[in-house]
Amino acid sequence: MGSVPVFSFEFFPPRTPEGKAKLRAAWQELARLEPRFFSCTYGAGGSTREGTLETVLEIRKAGHEAAPHISCVASTKKDVGEQLALYKSHGIRHVVALRGDLPSGIAASGEFRYANELVAFIRETTGDWFRIEVACYPEYHPQTRNAADEVKNFRKKVEAGADAAITQYFYNADAYFRFVDECRAAGIAVPIVPGIMPIGNFSQLARFSDACGAEIPRWMRVKLEGYRDDAASIRAFGLDAVTALCARLLAGGAPGLHFYTLNQAALSAEIWRRLKL
Ligand code: FAD
């Protein structure tokens, strides 16, 4: 790639005053590391609309770049258009555009089926105002029927106007390198930044991973399970394994790293320090 790596940190909108205070301390600590940007997730159907914007505005007010996510599942074009207009009115020029997931059992009603339609809508209605990041899946999205479709569907988002992509997290660097090679062969030229999930809690990680189709390699799962509720050993092992993953990704040409912080600064900051970024 040759260009300066892009580092970013992702948060979710807190629901309680304590959560807000915790997040504020976390982003303030991480801001000292001078990442390129922060981002904040957006609940499917707009369920966290206010919290997402509030978080982004608080971080931006302190002089840092922050991008809200926006999802389209169960939304009308009017809803999404209004949300984009609101972001624009605050001078926000960077979004992460996703389809989103509805809680199981709830049927989707809305005017968008896939994220490529959202990206196209953003470009049609706001031109080049926003830098648009999209998601992609080196270990395949749970609903993807075959590997070739993953690349084809990702390419639709790029053809619709996405500028860059952030991957779902993974612990197998080869899956990422292979996926990037396949994307390049298919003519996808945008930066593909690995999403990194630090490991602090094994049962939570196992739950997330089952839901989103990310694989915890057996050697890691067996080690982590063996620590049971020994939080210090889980943390120490997780830091070693994830730092080694990040180092390998960067050495292999990854254009940056995007950390899923879960609103905690400590693990991401420690990985950052160990990488000597
Ligand atoms: P899509 O790109 O639409 O893909 C969804 C599935 O449909 C895939 O299996 C794909 O292969 C298939 N597909 C895509 N396009 C087509 C097409 N045109 N025809 C047929 N099949 C197609 N969720 C939230 O609710 N809020 C967030 O803030 C949020 N942030 C995220 C950030 C990142 C970096 C990542 C990786 C995920 C995030 N998610 C978020 C989760 C995301 O919403 C889910 O993974 C969701 O299931 C898919 O979203 P997508 O935008 O990748 O969808």
Domain range holding 74? 6-274
**Is 259 within a domain?**
yes
> Quick check: CB of 153 below 6 Å from ligand 1?
yes
- CB 173 within 8 Å of CB 131: no
From the CB of residue 52, how many other CB atoms can be counted at a distance below 10 Å? 25
**Rounded CA separation 123/30 (Å):** 31
**Is 125 within a domain?**
yes
**Rounded CA separation 16/88 (Å):** 27
- How does the average pLDDT of the chain come out, rounded? 96
Task: Please confirm, yes or no, whether 10 is among the known catalytic residues.
Answer: yes
Q: 3-state class of 119 per DSSP?
A: helix
Q: Is the pTM of this model over 0.95?
A: yes
**Is 143 within a domain?**
yes
- CB 67 within 8 Å of CB 37: yes
Q: How confident is the model at residue 1 (pLDDT cuts 50, 70, 90)?
A: very low
pLDDT at 108: 67
- Alpha-helix residue ranges (DSSP H) falling in the chain: 17-31, 49-61, 77-89, 115-126, 147-160, 173-185, 202-212, 218-226, 231-251, 266-275
For ligand 1, atom 23: residue with the closest CA? 100
Q: Report the percentage of the chain scoring pLDDT > 90.
A: 91
> Quick check: CB of 69 below 6 Å from ligand 1?
yes
* Cα torsion angle, 255, 180, 68, 84, sign: positive
**Is 122 within a domain?**
yes
**Is 234 within a domain?**
yes
Q: Mind listing the pLDDT tens digit for each residue in 160-185?
A: 999 999 999 999 999 999 999 999 99
**Is 192 within a domain?**
yes
pLDDT at 102: 82
**Is 98 within a domain?**
yes
> Quick check: CB of 44 below 6 Å from ligand 1?
yes
For ligand 1, atom 39: residue with the closest CA? 100
Q: Mind listing the pLDDT tens digit for each residue in 17-62?
A: 999 999 999 999 999 999 999 999 999 877 889 999 999 999 999 9
> How large is the average pLDDT for residues 108-137?
95
For ligand 1, atom 25: residue with the closest CA? 100
Residue 127 has pLDDT above 60, yes or no: yes
Number of structural domains the chain divides into: 1
For ligand 1, atom 43: residue with the closest CA? 100
Output the domain CATH number for residue 72.
3.20.20.220
Residue 2 has pLDDT above 60, yes or no: no
**Is 1 within a domain?**
no
**Rounded CA separation 164/136 (Å):** 10
> Quick check: CB of 100 below 6 Å from ligand 1?
yes
> Quick check: CB of 195 below 6 Å from ligand 1?
yes
With CA atoms as reference, report the closest residue to 85 among 48, 43, 122, 38: 122
Distances (CA, A) of 186 to 180, 182, 190, 253: 10, 6, 12, 18
